[in-house]
């Protein structure tokens, strides 16, 4: 996926989350409980957008070939592995391709 399309998708999902937050706010103002809920929802929306952007960037940069050359040595695709990363935005589950060097 092209970077512009990735950004548009992430921004669109963020916009939808914000829209739901604002629709939940009563027109006469926020009570203390409502304000806390709004701030929590806003944090969740920002974190979700951050996670989406991080995962998209990692997937875009990940190798896709059957072989890669690293430090002059050929590495062959071995398996797909799902990993959990702890990020500033929360836990991200990322599927990565792992490569193993050829036997010497």
The string of DSSP codes covering 10-25 is HHHHHHHHHHHHHHHS
In the chain, how many domains are there?
A: 1
Instruction: Note the pTM of the prediction, 2 decimals.
Output: 0.80
pLDDT tens figures, 36-63: 888 999 999 999 999 999 999 999 999 9
Domain that residue 59 falls in: 3-101
Name residues whose C-beta falls within 8 Å of residue 24's C-beta, 6 or more positions apart in sequence: 37, 38, 41
């Amino acid at each position: 996926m092209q970077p512009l399309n990735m950004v548009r998708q992430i921004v669109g999902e963020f916009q939808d989350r914000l829209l739901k937050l604002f629709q939940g706010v009563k027109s006469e103002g926020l009570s203390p409980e409502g304000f806390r809920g709004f701030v929590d929802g806003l944090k969740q929306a920002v974190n979700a957008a951050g996670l989406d952007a991080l995962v998209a960037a990692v997937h875009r940069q990940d190798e896709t070939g059957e072989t890669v050359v690293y430090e002059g040595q050929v590495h062959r695709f071995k398996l797909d592995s799902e990993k959990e990363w702890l990020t500033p935005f929360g836990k991200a589950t990322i599927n990565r391709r792992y490569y193993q060097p050829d036997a010497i």
